[in-house]
Amino acid sequence: GNSVTQMEGPVTLSEEAFLTINCTYTATGYPSLFWYVQYPGEGLQLLLKATKADDKGSNKGFEATYRKETTSFHLEKGSVQVSDSAVYFCAQVALNRDDKIIFGKGTRLHILP
């Protein structure tokens, strides 16, 4: 079945460091891909998305590129801030199938000042 696998956390970085959170997926066909973020005490928020191969989603300095050949959607940011500390979830929705979002386990990110 469809699934999402993302790197285990927690990930701890210093401010201004480069961030990569790996995400790979398995799916029949070509799903839409998402990154959600949950800041402390808040709900899940859509961070960025890509709906077809080679699309790049971007928001708040974060980027992720839909790579069909490697079935990946890695999240990157060139210079993280303390305010980026949160839990990040990679997710997919398969086109023309049931409309459930399939999430990864989440990666907790700690940014040290």
Partner 1 sequence: EAGVTQFPSHSVIEKGQTVTLRCDPISGHDNLYWYRRVMGKEIKFLLHFVKESKQDESGMPNNRFLAERTGGTYSTLKVQPAELEDSGVYFCASSQEGSVQPGVGANVLTFGAGSRLTVL
- Report the interface residues with partner 1, using CB under 8 A: 4, 32, 34, 36, 41-46, 49, 51, 89, 91, 93, 95, 98-106
- As to burial, measured by CB atoms within 10 angstroms (0-12 exposed, 13-18 middle, 19+ buried), residue 83 is exposed
Nearer to partner 1 among residue 90 and residue 111 (C-beta): 90
State the minimum distance, in angstroms, from the CB of residue 43 to partner 1: 4
In 3D, which of 55, 54, 43 has the Cα closest to residue 89? 43
Nearer to partner 1 by C-beta: 42 or 113?
Answer: 42
